[in-house]
Every structure is written in structure tokens, then in C-alpha cells.
A = this chain, B = another copy of it.
Amino acid sequence: MTKMTLAKALNAGLRRSMEDDPKVLIMGEDVGKLGGVFRITDGLQKDFGEDRVIDSPLAESGIIGTAVGMAIRGYRPVCEIQFDGFVYPAYDQIVSQVAKFTFRSQGKVKMPMVIRIPFGGGIGAVEHHSESPEAQFAHTPGLKVVACSNPVDGYWMIQQAIKHDDPVIFLEPKRQYHADKAEVDETATPAPLFTSRLIRTGSDVTLLAYGPMVKTCLASAEAAAQEGKSVEVIDLRTLSPLDLDGVFESVRKTGRVVVAHEAHTNLGMGAEISARIMEECFYSLEAPVIRVGGFDTPYPPARVEEEWLPDLDRVLDAVDRTLGY
């Protein structure tokens, strides 16, 4: 058992993956000596060498495109995208190459690649440093998309993603990197990667979140409890494929759902989840699924980001609104 921040947990998970499998490579901008701008790869180049922890030229399409070739050669590249907003130059390689290789080769070519993306806002950064691109990747067949929300998941999920034979977009809530510490038991057996998790039981409303919003939603549930409202919270963890059986079960119990994320509400994950809940739990719904998301504007200047991002009060307000039906 060690107390770790999310950043340290991811670093420890990466280290263990590299120890376990010599085919695991890390590539990205400034991942070497610097250890990445968030220090997630801190010390790894020193211990595993420049051949396994590779500082790349400043070109995201180049990073992902060459990683495709490494995967074809039998390696398991773990690519770091420095900030969410900089994944787009690599978008073509990700959606047209990485996502389709297994399909078009009828399984002959595997793409065991992990693309790590620090995502979301709340760190007072300038434009392009606080995006939430998950929905675009989840819309793309062939990719898998997961988001961790705490140190324990960070430690295990990154290792599971690296072991996995399909390409995984691995979303890390950068706002949480150095926030809270948690006990990580390196000997435990983690839950399977592509599963959601019930993290707080309740009977009145089902609250769905992932990544950075999990902490916020737990706080909202706590506050709601003070007001006598029993809120059940589920950490989705996997965005593609979605694991909604537990969600449907919860909805059949509560009849009310709030789904929260930082991404723009329009066509965000909440849209898909809302649609599926209606398809599966039509007769159980007492109220429409309510979405609490980033507004449909570009991410704003840092001085107003806290008001732009869904927070405890906005989630609470949504909980009240669904109970109002």
C-alpha cells in the first residue's frame, strides 16, 4: 500500500507495464528528460533508456503514425499527447488508421496502442489546453475510450489499457493529477477495464459521471444527502464501449437520471447515454434524463472557466430539476 496522487499512480503504472513487457514503448513530446509537462513519465527514460522512452519531434500525426508502424512490428506504443487540444493534428491517423487496422485486416493486424490524453479544464490554462474530445473518439468504431477518475483506477487502468490488444484512448483528468492522494494496493486484483462502477448507492436519482466530474458528482451527492435526497453515483470509466447494465438497473430503481461531463453538451456523451436510457428504460423513467455539460461555446478564458464548467451547484440543480418532474 502506497499513498499516491493520480500523477504518481499513472507513473507507477507505466513503470510496472514497462518492467512487465519489453515491447512497451513510450513516445511523445518532452516525455524524456523532462518527464512530460505533467511529469507522468518522470524518471522512466532514465531507467528504461532513450530507445524505450522516446522524445519525438514536435508533430502529433508523426507520433501516432509512427506508433502504428511500431505496433505492426509487434511493439506496444504508449503515446502521450501533451494536451487535449493538440490531439487534432493526429486525428486522421487515429480515426482512419489506428481505428480501422484490425477491421480491414480481418484481425490479422493488431493495434495494441494506448493514446494518453490529459483532458478537461480547471487548471487556469490558455486556449486549447482544456478540451474534452472524448465524444469524437467514442463515435469512432475500432477505438476504445476510457477515463480514469482517481489514483487507484489510474494505476490499474493504464496497465490494463497497455495489456489490451485494441487501441485505447486513455483520458486523464489533468485537474486531478496532483489533487488528492489515495492508498494504492499494488497487490490487489482490479476490476476489468471496460466496466463502469457504482461508487455511491442511493434511491432517488442516478448520477452518471466520468473523469474529472466524478469528484464533483460525489460532492453533489453528499450535499444532496444533507437535503435528504438519496443520489446514486456511477463512475462510467469506459466510454467506448459503454457498460450500462448497472446504469439501467439503477434507473429502473430511481426513475431519474442526471449525466454530467465537461464536454460540450451538444452531442457529448450525455446525448448517447440519454438516448440509450430512453431505449432501455422507457417505462421506468419518471423524468427526462438531464444533461449537465459544458456549454456549446468554445472553452472560455481561464477567469471564467469555473463558471463554465459544471460544478457542485449545477449538478445539484439538475438533481432538483429531475426530482421536480
- Give me the interface of A with B, judged by CB distance under 8 Å: 61, 85, 88-89, 91-92, 95-96, 99-100, 103-104, 127-128, 135-136, 138-142, 240, 263-264, 266-272, 274-275, 278-279, 282, 285, 287-291, 296-298, 325
A245 shortest CB reach to chain B, Å = 16
User: Are A279 and B288 CB-contacts (below 8 A) given A91-B88, A91-B91, A296-B141?
Assistant: yes
- Cβ contacts under 8 Å, A271 to chain B: 267, 271-272, 274-275
A-B interface, 7 closest residue pairs, ranked by CB to CB distance from nearest: A88-B92, A274-B275, A139-B267, A91-B91, A271-B271, A271-B272, A278-B288
User: Are A85 and B91 CB-contacts (below 8 A) given A135-B267, A278-B274, A298-B103?
Assistant: no
Q: A91-B92, A267-B272, A274-B278 are in contact. List 13 more A-B contacts (CB 8 A).
A: A61-B89, A91-B91, A100-B127, A103-B298, A104-B127, A104-B298, A135-B267, A139-B263, A140-B264, A266-B272, A278-B289, A282-B287, A282-B288
- Cβ contacts under 8 Å, A96 to chain B: 85, 88, 128
Q: How far is the CA of A296 from the CA of B270 in the complex (A)?
A: 18
Can you offer 19 A-B residue contacts whose CB atoms are under 8 A?
A88-B92, A88-B95, A96-B128, A99-B298, A100-B298, A135-B139, A136-B139, A139-B263, A139-B267, A139-B268, A141-B266, A240-B266, A267-B267, A267-B269, A271-B272, A274-B274, A274-B275, A278-B288, A279-B291
- Cβ contacts under 8 Å, A61 to chain B: 89
Q: Which one of B91, B99, B128, B267 lies within 8 Å of A138 (CB-CB)?
A: B267
Q: How far is the CA of A282 from the CA of B287 in the complex (A)?
A: 7
- Cβ contacts under 8 Å, A263 to chain B: 139
- Cβ contacts under 8 Å, A92 to chain B: 88-89, 91
- Cβ contacts under 8 Å, A268 to chain B: 139
Interface centre among A85, A263, A278 (most CB of B within 10 A): A278
